[in-house]
Chains A and B, each alone.
Chain A
Amino acid sequence: MSETLIGKAAVLQARAEHAAVKALLAWRPEALTDAKFDRGELTLTIAAEEIRAAAATVQAAGYNFFEDVTAVDWFPSTPRFQLSYHILSHHLKERIRLRVMVGGEAPAVESITSLWPAANFYEREVFDLFGIRFEGHPNLRRIMMPDDWQGHPLRKDYPVEGYR
Chain B
Amino acid sequence: MNSGTPILEVPVATGAHDQHMVLNMGPQHPSMHGVLRLVVEIDGEIVVRLYPEIGYLHTGIEKTCEAKFYQQVVPLTDRIDYLSPMANNLCYCLAVERLLGLEIPARAEWLRVLLSELTRLNSHLIWLGTHAMDIGALTVFLYTFREREEILRIFEGLAGQRMMTSYFRVGGLSMEPPLDFFDRVWGFIRVFPEKIDEYANLLTGNPIFRNRLQGVGILSASEAVALGVTGPNLRGSGVDFDLRRDMPYSGYEQFKFKVPVAVEGDCWARYLIRLQEMRESVGIIQQALEGMPDGAIKADAPKIVLPDREKMKTQMEALIHHFKIVTEGFAVPAGEVYQGIESPRGQMGYYVVSDGTAKPYRVHFRNPSFATLQALETMCKGRMLADVVAVVGSIDIVLGEIDR
Contact = CB atoms under 8 A, between A and B. Distances in A.
Interface of A: 1, 38-41, 43, 64-68, 70, 72-73, 84, 86, 88, 90, 93-95, 97, 116-122, 129, 138-139, 141-146, 153-154, 158, 160
B101 A41 contact: no
B246 A93 contact: yes
A160 B68 CA distance: 11
A117 B403 CA distance: 19
Interface residues of B, number: 45
A119 B226 CA distance: 9
Interface in B333-392: 335-338, 340, 347, 349, 351, 353, 361-362, 364, 366, 370-371, 373-374
A154 B202 CA distance: 48
Contact of A154 (B2, B63, B373): B63
Given A41-B338, A86-B351, A153 B63 contact: yes
Given A118-B374, A160-B63, A39 B98 contact: yes
Contact of A86 (B6, B64, B349): B349
24 contacts: A40-B98, A67-B228, A67-B349, A68-B338, A68-B349, A68-B351, A70-B364, A72-B336, A72-B353, A84-B338, A88-B340, A90-B241, A94-B247, A95-B338, A117-B226, A118-B228, A119-B228, A121-B374, A143-B55, A144-B404, A145-B58, A154-B62, A160-B63, A160-B66
A97 B361 CA distance: 18
Contacts, number: 107
- Chain B at the A interface: SS class: mixed
Given A66-B228, A67-B349, A138-B2, A95 B374 contact: no
Interface in B221-254: 225-228, 239, 241, 246-247
A68 B241 CA distance: 17
Given A68-B338, A153-B60, A86 B371 contact: no
Among A138, A144, A145, which residue has the most Cβ atoms of chain B within 10 A? A144
A162 to B, nearest CB: 9
Contact of A67 (B67, B98, B347): B347
A118 B370 CA distance: 10
B351 A70 contact: yes
A120 B6 contact: no
B225 A67 contact: no
B315 interface: no
